[in-house]
Structure 1
Amino acid sequence: MQPHNTNSTDELWKYDVYLSFKGSDTDKKFTDHLRNNLHQRGFRVFRDDDELPRRREDYRLVWYCSALKKNSYENKPPHSQTTPTYHHDPSKESRSQGFFFIVFSKNYASSPWCLDELVKILESRDSMAGQQIVMPIFYKVQPSDVRNQRGSFEEAFSRYEGVSEDDLQMKLLTWRNALRRAAELTGWPLDNGYAYF
């Protein structure tokens, strides 16, 4: 499938799946493979590393979640004319639900952006009374390490705890709780490749 004409404002900002991951930490082939497989099954996938400029990162998840909450894709960010989308005629179910794939990887917790994004995803899921489906993927990490912040997750939090900023210290509990909650959801541990995708 070719990207849909980005000049057609009626088709902009219409996604079924939001794919969240730490770009420098996952094998780009894996995330490409995942997006392509979802795309081949008829889902329009928003991959957060390349769909919008980094300076606009604060808009990415906010606009996706707000569109789902209103069960409408008419709300578009002000920079939407530069946002690529993919042509698809999804079912009403997938449009109203929304799917979030969260790829947990070794250095996921070292990114405050990823942790903030995880919190927003879970808050959005809560506000939609379970109509948004969150699917964690444990890419070369154990779910128990994510849940209990062990290994590389513990190392990342040790670095955060050494920072004396009040705002960051307040976030630590929120981030830890979000990691615990997400790791308790049904997901896929992928230690050796990604044959299932």
Structure 2
Amino acid sequence: MASSSSSKASSSTSNCDGYNYHVFLSFRGEDTRQTFTGHLYANLVARGIHTFRDDEELEKGGDIASDLSRAIEESKIFIIIFSKHYADSKWCLNELVKIIDCMTKEESVVLPVFYHVDPRDVRNQGGSFKDAFLEHAKDADQEKKKTIETWENALKTAANLSGYHLQNQ
């Protein structure tokens, strides 16, 4: 993985108890990169917490999907920032499925943050999540329908975890 200035201060993997990253941030960049996620990332790094954020850690010229998958496997804690357009992104939904898979196989911690969205909308694909899933379902073949069902199950699992609901903050 490429090293960035923000991760160099805490790049020692010996502090991660066998993991390459203490924390993996899953978020929709357009919604929160410059706001909540940006501030959270800066504060985690300032406290010496080795944190994966896609724009800082992805290897230039590398295969994004495999780099993200590897980073998820190499992380101990996952913070999922559910925002209005999170479900619009197939990348976010595929990350979420991988995170939930790691959570069930390993002793990982998953912390959902519901950023200006209702946890019930995440759990039941209501509101903007419903709109996103209707769009994903357009012209879906059997394979795509299976993928959509997997995404729905991952959202339900994550939304049933104890987390933080941030409204108007």
TM-score (norm 2): 0.83
Answering whether residue 107 of structure 2 is matched by residue 126 of structure 1, we say: no
Indicate the SS of the match to 1:103.
Answer: strand
Output the CA distance in 2 between the equivalents of 1:67 and 1:27: 22
Aligned ranges 1:1-197 → 2 under 5 Å: 3-4=7-8, 14-26=20-32, 28-52=34-58, 53=60, 56-67=63-74, 98-128=76-106, 131-193=107-169
Count of aligned residue pairs for this structure pair: 159
Q: Secondary structure at the match of 2:31?
A: coil
Identity of aligned residues (%): 42
Give the whole-Å Cα distance in 2 for the aligned partners of 1:165 and 1:19: 31
Deviation at 1:170, TM superposition (A): 1.1
Match of 1:88 in 2: none
Asked if structure 2 preserves the Cα contact closer than 8 Å seen for 1:18 and 1:48, the reply is: no
Counterpart for residue 89 of structure 1: none
Q: Quick check: 1:21–1:48 contact (8 Å CA) kept in 2?
A: no
Q: CA RMSD in A?
A: 2.5
Cα 1:101–1:117 shift into 2, 3 Å: same
Structure-2 separation of matches of 1:46 and 1:151? 29
Q: Give the AA of the match of 1:19.
A: L
Distance 1:163 1:29, change over 3 A: same
List runs of 5+ in structure 2 lacking aligned partners: none
What's the CA shift string for 1:16-51, capped at 9, x where partnerless? 110110101225122111012212332111112342
Larger radius of gyration: 1
Provide the rounded CA distance (Å) in 1 between the counterparts of 2:52 and 2:33. 17
Give 1:84's aligned residue: none
- Judging by fraction of residues, say which structure has more helix: 2
SS of residue matched to 1:16: strand
CA contact (8 A) 1:17 1:45 kept: yes
